[in-house]
Amino acid sequence: MEKAIGDRKYEEAVEISKAIEDEGYFINLVLDDKVVYISDEYEVNLKDIIVYDVDEIVIDEPLETYIIRSNLGEFNSIKLGDESSISSIRIDPIISIEEQNNLFKEDRQFTMKLILMVLLAIIGSVVLTTSLATYITVGSIIKPLELLQTGTNKIMAGDLNFSLNYDKDDAFGEVFSDFENMRKKLLDLRDHQVKYNENRKELIAGITHDLNTPLTSIRGYTSGLLDGIAKTEEKQVYYLEKINSISTEMSGLVNELLDYSMLDIDSVNFNFVKTDLVEYFKDCILELEKEYDEKGMKIEFYAEIPDKVAYSYIDLIHFRRVVLNIFNNSLKYKEKDLGHLLITLYEKNNFYSISFKDDGIGITRDEVKKIFEVFYRLDKSRNKEIGGYGLGLAIVKNIVSAHSGYIEINKDYNEGLELILTLPKV
């Protein structure tokens, strides 16, 4: 139970003041308008004193302590003596009312300032967040869109030699990577188109050249006959034989051209048969070695196949053409009186590779890419007066790719030519 303080003696009032002081407050105790107690540090700490209003001093009876309730909260004081002996106690504000008001004013101003600052901080952060969001929006949406638009405009203007660098890993990353793929595909397509057109032009130039030369010869021989230059029967027969061999040669060229075009436009029907390549080449050598031996070419075959069998799908007719074209080239471009052609069959993952290594005139590194092109004949071959139209290897390449295989040249082999033909395993 709590009750208000009654009258107390002067000493007891001082005692209470000291007790309050012990709680950490500076006391200026005025009793009946007389200062009866003042804290030692009162003057010194005047500026630092916390102003408080004592609302109520009550006695907590069971504990017999003062409870001082003020604007600073509630705190306890010392044990009481006889409560009836107290007269009056006043705990004054330790600074004047005016000062106190000033302080409150300052306090209010400070609070106002604080509120203003908080408000400003809130407004500032809202503005900052908004601008940041705008910046991020501009950066993350508008900029990539602008970049894409620039790319699209370039493509529309026919410029494909650029690259849109976008290294961010966001939703646009995928769009940019698709855009890049599209640009590269278009570039490949255009390069392919350009190359295709160039090839066509070269092809027409090649056909014109290779048909024109024999035609000129035929015309020369026929004019000779018509003009009566070939006076003797012997000479006439010679002229006629020439015309005959040239036309046979021309017919060979036309046939090869026809074969090439048919393969080129995918108009050839293939009849693939599961064949053991070990057996196939063994038979091939058995059948052809004598003939080639007589022409000055020794052919050998080795199978480096642990299983002894190497199955692949081949079209027997067209594959024979491949083999013969390669054999004939090794023969045509041999250097020594007795040339050598070494055929080795080996496994390469899911494929079988057949290496054709000869010791002929070989080709230079620059010529590597060209020899599979139509009508391509290396200068040294042209000079050598060897028959051929530069169609053989182009036909070989087309046939091999129809077998889902590929043919390449070993660039590092320089004692002749090494062709490596690769076919899928069955």
CA distance linking residue 73 with residue 95, whole number of Å: 19
- Contact present, 227 and 235 (Cβ < 8 Å): no
Nearest distance from C-beta of residue 330 to ligand ADP, angstroms: 5
Please, what is the minimum distance in Å from the beta carbon of residue 286 to ligand ADP?
22
One-letter amino acid identity for 392?
G
3-state secondary structure at position 377: coil
Nearer to ligand ADP, 305 or 368 (CB): 368
Q: In angstroms, what is the minimal distance from the CB of 358 to ligand ADP?
A: 5
**Maximal C-alpha separation, the chain:** 173
Task: Give the tokens for residue 365.
Answer: 């590194």
Instruction: Name the minimum Å distance from CB 364 to ligand ADP.
Output: 10
Residue with Cβ nearer ligand ADP (313 or 333): 333
Give the C-alpha distances (Å, rounded to integers) separating 420 from 18, 149, 224, 253, 305. 111, 47, 48, 26, 16
CA–CA dist 218, 245 (Å, integer): 10
Least separation in angstroms between CB 349 and ligand ADP: 27
Nearest distance from C-beta of residue 339 to ligand ADP, angstroms: 9
- By beta-carbon proximity to ligand ADP, the closer residue of 28 and 330 is 330
Report which secondary-structure segment, H or E, holds 272.
Answer: strand 272-276
CA distance 223 to 229: 8
Three-class SS string for 38-72?
ECHHHCCCHHHCCCCCEEEEEEECCCCEEEEEECC
Is 81 in a helix, a strand, or coil?
coil
Report the residue number, 371 or 399, with the smaller CB distance to ligand ADP: 371
Whether the Cβ atoms of residue 389 and residue 210 lie closer than 8 Å to each other: yes
Compute the distance between CA of residue 421 and CA of residue 111 in angstroms, rounded to an integer.
91
Nearer to ligand ADP, 144 or 360 (CB): 360
Smallest distance, ligand ADP to C-beta of residue 350, A: 28
Closest CB to ligand ADP among residues 15, 373: 373
DSSP β-bridge partners for residue 249: none
Residue closest to ligand ADP when measured from CB atoms: 388
Residue 426 near residue 312 (C-beta atoms within 8 A) = yes
State whether residue 9 is helix, strand or coil.
coil
Question: Residue 323 or residue 393: which is nearer to ligand ADP going by CB?
Answer: 393
By the criterion CB under 6 A, which residues form the site for ligand ADP?
Answer: 325, 329-330, 332-333, 358, 360-363, 371, 376-378, 381, 388-394, 417
State the nearest-atom distance from the C-beta of 185 to ligand ADP, in Å: 30
Instruction: Using the minimum distance from each CB to ligand ADP, give the nearer residue, 278 or 409.
Output: 409
